Amino acid sequence: MIMIRDFSNMFQQMSGMPINSKGGKAMLKKYGIDTNSAQYKAAMKQMSQSAGGGVGYTNPQAIKNVMSGFDKDGDRINAFGVAGMDATGIPQSQRHKIISVSEKSRQDMFDETKRHFLQENGVGNGDTTRRSEVFTRYQLSVSKSDRLKGTWTLGQYERAYRQAFYDYPNL
């Protein structure tokens, strides 16, 4: 004979309580989670999308872990710790625009491109480049609204510098 048991209560106790319940909201507040913040709302949106449309049962630490992937404005933070670089929903025509990039950032990219070209004897293998550091420094130096366009513009400078080194290696 097959015996069927209902384990839902046990799973509920292991995973926490429903976050939309009165007790769930009180628990979140107790753990310092502001349920009105953009960071919380972005985290809950991500959690509900990954859970197939609803968050269900969770715990405050799980929510805090997901919230750490967003800044106070609810923008996703990338692997380099920079918010405002998520291009989801932004058409390429709006991201791929040349904008003004500081002389310091352009010089930084030139120096890195030159260093890499000389170190690798003109072979662009990418193994020893520190270009991500150059991009991250630039991204942190400008407003979030300019990060995508500025990063793309700085990439255009990098391509031009690299091409110049290939075309005129004896300069």
Cβ 161 vs Cβ 114: under 8 Å? yes
Phi, psi angle pair for 114, to nearest 5°: -65, -45
Q: What 8-state DSSP symbol labels residue 75?
A: P
For residue 83, list its beta bridge partners: 77
Other C-beta atoms closer than 10 Å to the C-beta of 139 total 23
Burial profile 84-99: b = 16 or more Cβ within 10 angstroms, e = fewer = bbeeeeeeeeeeeeee
Nearest to 62 by CA among 72, 52, 71, 51: 51
pLDDT in tens, the chain (171 residues): 555 554 444 444 445 556 666 777 788 888 899 988 999 999 988 888 776 666 666 778 888 999 999 999 999 999 889 998 988 888 999 999 999 999 999 999 999 999 988 888 777 666 778 889 999 999 999 999 999 999 999 999 999 999 999 888 666
What span, in angstroms and rounded, lies between the C-alpha atoms of 50 and 47?
5
pLDDT of residue 11: 44
pLDDT of residue 166: 87
What span, in angstroms and rounded, lies between the C-alpha atoms of 161 and 63?
44
Furthest-apart CA pair in the chain: how many Å? 85
What span, in angstroms and rounded, lies between the C-alpha atoms of 147 and 105?
13
pLDDT of residue 119: 86
